[in-house]
Chain A
Amino acid sequence: AQSVTQLGSHVSVSEGALVLLRCNYSSSVPPYLFWYVQYPNQGLQLLLKYTTGATLVKGINGFEAEFKKSETSFHLTKPSAHMSDAAEYFCAVTLYNFNKFYFGSGTKLNVKP
């Protein structure tokens, strides 16, 4: 069975600082990986995804993530945080499961002025 672990339920950074949100997965074969963002009282919006090909993927709003098979990780980064980045971020995985997506527990990002 696959699972997703997000280290750090809360991350706080200053505006302009690097954002790093951690995601590790457990799977015997490479999964399909996603990062979603959720603003208060809204649905989830896809930030980026890894399916096949290039392991460094770029998403919306300046975010990117790198799939590292050796580390079973898919960490999300952004070089410079903006106040509007404050939200909940979920890492998700699906693997040959025909529609089953597994979500991590989420990381709440706080951006300080």
Chain B
Amino acid sequence: DTEVTQTPKHLVMGMTNKKSLKCEQHMGHRAMYWYKQKAKKPPELMFVYSYEKLSINESVPSRFSPECPNSSLLNLHLHALQPEDSALYLCASSQDAQREYSGELFFGEGSRLTVL
């Protein structure tokens, strides 16, 4: 099993809503990532979890709140988002988080978020 599974694939929410994006991998990877991708742009790193601990936060606004309940799951909680937060949110994982080379990234198909 070499998949990273993201749900939902599409999400439409208002600026006052609270929603969550979910990501799951069963490859035994110990690093998990959230990326944000706007149209015609490369993915931008948001957060990295290493062995279930937040290791990198790229100065992301607090309206995005990540959570890593266990080594296979990664959530992104969304609250009071702005229309400019509309984007494709990509989850990724890699093999080993505590070495200089942690292995390549495996991406999910993404969650397309639209904020009205």
Contact = CB atoms under 8 A, between A and B. Distances in A.
B104 A49 contact: yes
B105 A44 contact: yes
Contact of B105 (A98, A101, A104, A106): A101
Contacts of A94: 101-102
Interface size class on chain A is 20 to 34
Nearest to B44: A103
Contacts of B81: none
Nearest to A49: B104
B45 to A, nearest CB: 7
Query: Which of A43, A94, A98 gathers the greatest number of chain B CB atoms within 10 Å?
Result: A43
Interface string A65-106: 000000000000000000000000010101011111101111
Given A51-B101, A99-B48, A99-B97, A42 B42 contact: no
Contact of B42 (A41, A45, A106): A106
Interface residues of B, number: 31
Given A42-B110, A98-B97, A106 B104 contact: no
B42 A104 contact: yes
A43 B106 CA distance: 9
A32 B101 contact: yes
B68 interface: no
B94 interface: yes
Given A43-B109, A44-B90, A100 B56 contact: yes
A78 to B, nearest CB: 20
13 contacts: A36-B107, A41-B88, A41-B112, A43-B4, A43-B90, A43-B107, A43-B108, A43-B109, A46-B105, A94-B101, A98-B99, A100-B45, A101-B105
Given A43-B6, A43-B108, A99-B50, 16 more contacts: A32-B101, A34-B105, A41-B110, A43-B4, A43-B109, A45-B107, A90-B42, A98-B50, A98-B98, A99-B55, A100-B45, A100-B56, A101-B105, A103-B42, A103-B43, A106-B40
